[in-house]
Structure 1
Amino acid sequence: MPRTWCLFAGLIFAFVAPLRAQIDIEVAVDLSAPRTPISPLIFGFNHDLAGWQKATLRRWGGNSTETYNWVNNCSNSGNDYLQANSRWLARHMPAARRGEPAAVLTAFHEESVRRGVPSIVTLPLMGYVAADDLGPVLPGEAPPSRRWKRVVLEKGAPLSDQPDPSLDTVYLDEEVAYLTRKFGPAEGPTGIRFWALGNEPGLWAETHPLAQREPMKCREYVERAIAAARVVKRIDPTAQVVGFTAFGISEYARFHRAPDWETLRRERGYHWFVDYFLDEFARASAADGRRLLDVLALNYYGEDELERHGGLLGVMQSPRTLWDPGFREASWVGEVMANFTPIIPRVRDSVARYYPDTKIGFTEYDFALPDAYPGGVAMADTLGIFIDQGVFLAAAWPRVGHDLMTQAPARYAVAAHRLYRDFDGRGGTFGDLLLTATSSDTASLSAHASLDSHTGCVHLVLLGKTLHATDNVTVTLKGAGTDFRKVRAWGFDGATPQLQELSSVESIDGNRFVYTLPRQTSVHLVIEPAPAVGGPGRE
């Protein structure tokens, strides 16, 4: 009997032990390397989420903005909802204001000014905007028809603050001039700082099949985008132009289904459409004697199939497609688009070759499960990757449900931003100077570090990507030149997206300490320097 019981107990232990597994991970933070400033504009959003008012950038974009008529505040929903013309974008405004020119944009940017953050405003480049708010547009009413207004880039006549709504055309330069006069130039305290060249142009034939019946050609879009950039720079030379807000990797690579891409690629020897876009803007800028594109902007969404094929772990791993050359995600991107990943280093190479000093931005991004721990980790890791890779601006768009009339919660997506922007509930933020942090087990733990130039504290974000194992993380501060004494921690976990203060490390020996990270836990560590020895009054 005792022998049988021992065997039984051994079997139990064999099955239970893995559930209590521990992983030893080394994290090294290098304080000796050059410390580059971190752009604060990567913590932006496309729409305001309940309970979160600390976005550093607000973008006015999305499918409906591509058909927004600034004269009457109407837009067309395209395939998002019945091809309907409406005042959906003005739905939260008082009825009396909906007839004012650019009332939607005015209200949006006034809120940005109130918060003290810049706006990105999308310009409609597809060619047609909504003429009315009379509901669904039938196939027989595709443009040109009375249900649409044609967009003309330049009026060729004096620009008015009271545009004529009876005209069949809407003028882009008049829109930019109206808002610039209203708010002042971009370099001023209230001006619109960024203008975006349309929204996901490679998808127009799918999102707005009535207005764009065939896939947009590469040449046609780029020529139109350059012309629009010239309009912006002529009216406000201090404004920054953002483009091309591509929807995903197939648009980065070949402008989605553009019929002229393969010919262009063979003739010019480009690797992907990003090269062509940058090259054409560089040539146009050289001809004009001024920069026409300031920020190369992409949209990036984790693939829906990641959750099916890779499970919860696949969702947490997926941001590595942005930076890790040895990673292949569990989706079609990992299988057939490997020549275009990792994305950000590829983009940097293209910028260096074709249009140096162009900044990089992500005007939309998100991953699956924004209201669950894996989605929060993916969002927080992406923010850390943007910091590490020197991204200039970013605006999250958590997928909070496909029903336009409701919003599902995105509490973990907000928790990810709070981990960097308000980790202690008192406005505590990640540092302002980049430090290099390396994890010995990237699949289990991501690490992102910074230095606060004012306090001397090192900030280290550790993102646990294991579902069951505890991480024993040994942190080493290399090349510090100073001693650190204490670690405080705040974080969220799989049980709650609410950030809480967690266990601290009361003493550090030789700038090296161990932090135990329970399963499904992500933390922001604040590593405090020891008081300086000596000072006034000491010999």
Structure 2
Amino acid sequence: MPSHRYRLALVATTVLVVAAVAPPAQAAGAGFAAEAGPALTVDLTAATHPISPQVYGMNFAGEDLARELRLPVRRWGGNATTRYDYRLDTTNRASDWYFENIPGDDPGPGAPPDGSETDRFADQDRRTGTDSLITVPLIGWAPKDRARACGFSVAKYGPQQSTDPWAPDCGNGVRPDGTYVTGNDPHDTSAEIGPEYVTGWIAHLRDRYGDAAHGGVRFYNLDNEPDIWHATHRDVHPAGASYDEMRDRTYAIASAVKAADPGAATLGPVGWGWSSLTLSGSDQQRCAIEGCWGNPPDRAAHGGVPFGEWYLRQMRAYEQEHGVRVLDYYDNHWYPQGRGVVDDDPGDAATQALRLRQTRSLWDRTYTDESWIGEPVYLIPRMKDMAARNYPGTKVALTEYDFGALGSLNGALAQADMLGILGREGADLATLWDPPAATDPGAYAFRMYLNYDGQGGRFGDTSVASVSADQSRLALYGATRGADGALTLMVVNKTGADLTSPVTVTGRAPGGAAQVYRYGGADLTRIVRGADLPVRPAAGGVSTISATFPANSVTELVVPDTVPPRAPGTPSASRPGPRTVTLTWAPAGDNVAVTGYELARTGPDGTVGSTTTATSVTVTGLAPGHRYTFRVRARDAAGNRGPWSAPATVTTPRGTAPARSS
């Protein structure tokens, strides 16, 4: 949302390689010889972990783009959702727009809640097969009626620095001398609500869509950035939210969500950024005025425990006392604080280079954040560690993030890098704020992961060990794809030069070819299918791919699984009858996974084939007193077939005598 750009002042086996921004003279890469790039290594024998499909989500994505990408999750969030009344279909736009109540569009026949904004949001998600993430309020206030109203009336509270050009009685709550209007009446716009409001809303959603376990709304955000309510919603909550207030409000609302739909997942505390990890809203407000950052008073009153750690412990305590988990995801927003990074304008060469460097704040323990933060952030590992220590089993989410400039190639490179990091670092859910238009370069960053070939081709779902010798030049992300066993490698070139690098893959020796899909400055309107690259096997189960990655580009290498399964064990027969026999064999091994077996029998009626997914099968329709030979071979997800097993022979008995097998 726009206000995020000013928060600094307000708060005081797919491999992806991303290339950095080039100086203008080299941006196209034409006329320059390729440079030697860093070595890229992939180890399929090392530990792996699943990539959550929910990391590829967005806030408010349009229907056509969501359908094309088969978008996994879409969030209804932002400042306006903190004060929304589904019964009136009316939001308060908070500090984003003069603290005004604004009714939604005419819902059509009947009256809200049917046809309200959130109904239409969930309707779209049902059409595109996307999970819905809906924000529910903790703040305790919602619009009082379905009519326009403003929190700081000029007629009531006097002249103000700025007013709505279309509703001049609605001010921004700041007097001409720069001081805030205080003591205003929250009832000018809002009425009190509590857990019963959330219970009623979820009951309405369940009636329309079913519960979370049966196609209904799957996720609920526990408000939006409550640690800066004192700024964004100061007309109704002028005091910063304290440790205790956040605990108590979360208990009340999260337990109401779980009672209304036990299968739904909750995400909190939905903080705005870096300060949210360690400080309550009360401390952020007070220390911005008093400079008490070294010893924040609210933290001191809670044993000196940073807010995020304390919050997670309180959620664990609730489960221990009540037997109900009221927090499923530890959720925090992330907007890089480097000057100009989150702007829509890509900025000058220095800003573009900074944008690409600041993705390191998500993972790199050695990277000192180049902003007022001034220390290593390593956000995803930090959040995962906090959750593991304080409330084991809690997942990690970033329901808002934005590295800016999605209308530019530079922004697309940062976004592609971001998506690779989310999968590699094991985040569980993420939704981009302010999604790109379908024609924006930023949309192509998502396509590289979710639809690189226009036919639904997706990056792999199991992250594999992938290392670039210089991540600042070529970023590498690797994953295997369960559907067909393909290895997918994403490479982001973050430099202004074409880079030629070897990709060494351990654990997949047969040759073949790597398919090449690329997005870059040569054509910003599509992903280009390049010429296949040879995969050259070497000794010791190692293969290599040599590739040139153009300046400022994202390249995906898709290496089909060409490794056949090994032979299964020789089938053994268990006391066959005159017309049937049950065969069992030891499973075949495979570099990815066996998906089924083919059984061939040879006998008096010729050769007959059949298939099964099990390692045992009962064969029927045999003739008494005849000799049969059985062999079995394995098949994997890519369609590779392994060698036949050793044969097993079975002679069916003529009557009741047991058959002979060998």
Could you tell me the TM-score, scaled by structure 1's length?
0.85
Instruction: Provide the identity percentage.
Output: 27
| Correspondence for 1:163 | none
1:132-188 Cα shifts (integer Å, max 9, x gaps): 32243335584442531211223xxxxxxxxxxxxxxxx222222222233222111
Q: 2:355 aligns with which of 294, 312, 315?
A: 315
Q: Distance in 1 between matches of 2:265 and 2:416?
A: 27
Q: Deviations over 1:427-468 (max 9, x none)?
A: 1001121111100001111111100123221100000100x2
Residue 508 of structure 1 and its aligned partner are, at CA, apart by: 2.1
1:266 aligns with 2:291: no
Letter in 1 for 2:517: W
2:527 to 489, 499, 523: 499
- CA positional deviation for 1:83: 1.7
Tell me how far 1:249 sits from its aligned partner.
Answer: 0.8
Offset of residue 19 of structure 1: 6.5
Please give the alpha-carbon distance, in whole angstroms, between the structure 2 residues aligned to 1:381 and 1:319: 7
Partner amino acid, structure 2, of 1:62: G
Q: Distance in 2 between matches of 1:104 and 1:129?
A: 15
2:112 alignment partner in structure 1 = 99
For these two proteins, the number of residue pairs brought into alignment is 491
Aligned residue for 2:492?
Answer: 463
3-state DSSP class of the match of 2:49? coil
Show CA shifts across 1:260-296 (max 9, x none). 9924533555563211111111111111112111011
Give 1:351's aligned residue: 387
Q: Rate the CA distance shift 1:233–1:399 in 2: closer, same or farther, 3 A.
A: closer
Tell me the CA shift for residue 527 of structure 1.
1.3
Q: TM-score, normalised by structure 2?
A: 0.70
| C-alpha contact 2:413 2:552 (8 A) present in aligned 1 | no
For the pair 1:72 / 2:97, whether they are aligned, the reply is no
Q: Any conservation in 2 of the 1:42–1:391 contact (CA below 8 Å)?
A: yes
Within the alignment, does 1:368 sit opposite 2:404 as a pair? yes
> Does the 8 Å contact 2:108/2:115 carry over to 1?
no
Q: In structure 2, do the counterparts of structure 1 residues 259 and 223 end up closer, same or farther at CA, with 3 Å as the change threshold?
A: farther
Alpha-carbon distance in structure 1 between the residues aligned to 2:41 and 2:332: 31
* 1:133 has 2:185 as partner: no
Q: Does 2:193 align with 1:151?
A: yes
State the distance in 2 between where 1:497 and 1:270 align.
53
Q: Deviations over 1:194-246 (max 9, x none)?
A: 11110010121211221211222222122101211111111221111111111
3-state SS of 1:332 partner: coil
More helix by share: 1
**Alpha-carbon distance between aligned partners in 2 of 1:135 and 1:39, rounded to the nearest angstrom:** 42
Structure 1 counterpart of 2:549, from 494, 498, 517:
517
CA-CA distance at 1:373 after TM superposition: 1.4
Instruction: Name the residue aligned to 1:3.
Output: none
SS across alignment from 2:455? coil
Counterpart position of 2:201: 175
1:201 corresponds in structure 2 to 226
Higher mean C-alpha displacement, 351-360 vs 259-268: 259-268
Cα distance change on mapping 1:138 and 1:26 into 2, 3 Å? same
Q: Is there any run of 5+ residues in structure 1 with no aligned partner, and where?
A: 1-15, 155-170, 401-407
Counterpart selection for 2:561 from 526, 529, 538: 529
Residues 123 and 215 from structure 1, CA distance in 2 versus in 1: closer, same or farther, beyond 3 angstroms?
same
* Cα deviations by residue, 1:68-99 (Å, 9 ceiling, x for unpaired): 01111111111111222112xx33x5444663
The reply on whether 1:488 has 2:515 as its aligned counterpart is yes
Whether contact under 8 Å (1:71, 1:102) holds in the other structure is no
2:256 paired residue among 231, 251, 254 = 231
What letter corresponds to residue 425 of structure 1 in structure 2?
G
For the residue of structure 2 that corresponds to 1:145, the secondary structure is: helix
Pick which of 243-252 and 500-509 moved more: 500-509
Q: CA deviation at 1:471?
A: 1.2
Larger displacement relative to structure 2 (205-214 or 280-289): 205-214
Note if contact 1:246-1:252 (Cα within 8 Å) is conserved in structure 2: yes
Shift of 1:409: 7.8
**Does the Cα contact within 8 Å between 2:492 and 2:553 map onto a contact in 1?**
yes
**Counterpart for residue 461 of structure 2:** 432
> Whose Rg is larger?
2
Q: Structure 1: which amino acid aligns with 2:483?
A: H
Q: 1:535 to 1:349 in 2, by over 3 A?
A: closer
Q: Report the 3-state secondary structure (helix = DSSP H, G, I; strand = E; otherwise coil) of the residue aligned with 2:252.
A: helix
Q: Which residue of 2 aligns with 1:443?
A: 472
Q: Distance in 1 between matches of 2:311 and 2:115?
A: 30
Residue equivalent to 2:324: 290
Equivalent residues of 1:366, 1:399 under 8 A apart = no
| Partner AA of 1:133 in structure 2 | A
Task: Pick from 418, 441, 462 the counterpart of residue 412 of structure 1.
Answer: 441
The 1-side partners of 2:392 and 2:360 are apart by: 25
Deviates more, 1:44-53 or 1:424-433: 44-53
Deviation at 1:32, TM superposition (A): 0.6
Deviates more, 1:267-276 or 1:195-204: 267-276
Give 1:535 deviation, angstroms. Answer: 3.7
